[in-house]
């Protein structure tokens, strides 16, 4: 595990609940500013989206048994985007993170970056008393054979965008309308389901998950997390 650096920051911006299109434009702008050296620090955007299905570059026809038009009629948006991977869902109760990290200042290795994202989520879930691990050959994080977090990224001149989605209190029924990440017969799960958590304690789980993920990402990438206002671009 990478040691935490006290000299380099990870600026953490919790956006609350936002529409997908708004945050997609924001992270693209931040990525561009990082590439152009108009931003000195790496950034982590945390957000909860309105219901949306995103289709990565690897999306196959078989992963969408339901036409996008029908998904929209059910109240979800649908976006084709530049990240790797297949189709997935984002929505309420899910912690989505978009790290804007300059890998040229760290390690220019996309596979290493993916494994470190997985490792950070595994570390965070351990804090929440959930034993999680990787699934060889499949990107993401799993517990007991069930998938609890999805990862899909893109890099532009070694600056990252897109990221991860950890199911915390997500309504997992939304995944029934797709083949998540193109993996047939995959069973999705959430922090709330694994801990059998209900009622008022769900809010506590959301907060604990955010704190655990931020701390774990800071350690993995040798950054000191720091809450700050979004930069003016």
pLDDT tens by residue, 157-216: 999 999 999 999 999 999 999 999 999 999 999 999 999 766 557 778 999 999 999 999
Grade residue 1 by pLDDT with cuts at 50, 70 and 90: very low
Give the three-class secondary structure for 198: coil
Buried b (16+ CB within 10 A) or exposed e, 122-159: bbbbeebebebebeeeebbbbbeebbbbbbbbbbeebb
Query: What φ, ψ does residue 15 adopt, rounded to 5°?
Result: -85, -5
138-143 vs 146-156, strand pairing mode: antiparallel
Grade residue 5 by pLDDT with cuts at 50, 70 and 90: very low
Q: Where are the beta strands (DSSP E) in the chain?
A: 9-18, 42-49, 52-55, 77-80, 87-90, 94-100, 133-135, 138-143, 146-156, 159-167, 224-227
In this prediction, residue 96 carries a pLDDT of 98
Give the three-class secondary structure for 83: coil
Q: Which two tokens stand for residue 207?
A: 């907060």
% pLDDT > 70, the chain: 95
In this prediction, residue 2 carries a pLDDT of 47
Q: What is the mean pLDDT of the chain?
A: 93
Alpha helices in 57-109 (DSSP H): 68-73
Is residue 97's pLDDT more than 60? yes
Q: Could you say which of 181, 212, 214, 216 is catalytic?
A: 181
In this prediction, residue 78 carries a pLDDT of 97
In this prediction, residue 47 carries a pLDDT of 98
Cα three-residue angle 139-140-142, rounded to 5 degrees: 125
Give the three-class secondary structure for 175: helix
- For residue 174, give the DSSP letter: G
Kindly indicate whether the domain formed by 9-227 is annotated with CATH number 3.40.50.2300. Answer: no
In this prediction, residue 199 carries a pLDDT of 56
In this prediction, residue 89 carries a pLDDT of 98
| 181 catalytic per annotation | yes
The mean pLDDT value for 109-122 works out to 98
Separation of alpha carbons 67 and 201, rounded Å: 37
Q: Could you report the per-residue pLDDT of 28-69, keeping only the tens digit for each?
A: 999 999 999 999 999 999 999 999 999 999 999 999 999 999
Q: Which two tokens stand for residue 76?
A: 């979800």
Separation of alpha carbons 188 and 130, rounded Å: 15
């Amino acid at each position: 595990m990478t040691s935490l650096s006290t000299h380099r920051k990870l600026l953490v911006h919790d956006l609350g609940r936002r529409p997908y299109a708004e945050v997609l434009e924001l992270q693209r702008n931040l990525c561009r500013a990082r590439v152009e050296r108009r931003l000195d620090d790496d950034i982590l955007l945390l957000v909860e989206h309105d219901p949306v299905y995103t289709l990565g570059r690897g999306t196959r026809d078989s992963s969408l048994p339901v036409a996008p038009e029908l998904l929209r009629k059910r109240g979800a948006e649908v976006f084709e985007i530049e990240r790797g991977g297949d189709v997935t869902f984002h929505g309420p109760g899910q912690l989505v993170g978009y790290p804007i990290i300059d890998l040229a200042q760290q390690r220019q290795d996309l596979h290493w970056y993916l494994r470190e994202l997985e490792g950070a989520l595994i570390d965070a879930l351990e804090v929440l008393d959930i034993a999680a691990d990787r699934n060889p050959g499949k990107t993401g994080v799993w517990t007991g054979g069930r998938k609890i977090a999805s990862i899909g990224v893109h890099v532009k001149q070694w600056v990252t965008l897109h990221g991860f989605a950890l199911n915390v209190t997500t309504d997992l029924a939304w995944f029934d309308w797709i083949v998540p990440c193109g993996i047939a017969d995959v069973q999705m799960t959430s922090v709330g389901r694994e801990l059998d958590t209900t009622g008022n304690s769900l809010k506590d789980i959301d907060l604990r998950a955010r704190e655990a993920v931020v701390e774990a990402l800071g350690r993995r990438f040798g950054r000191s997390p720091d809450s700050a206002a979004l930069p003016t671009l």
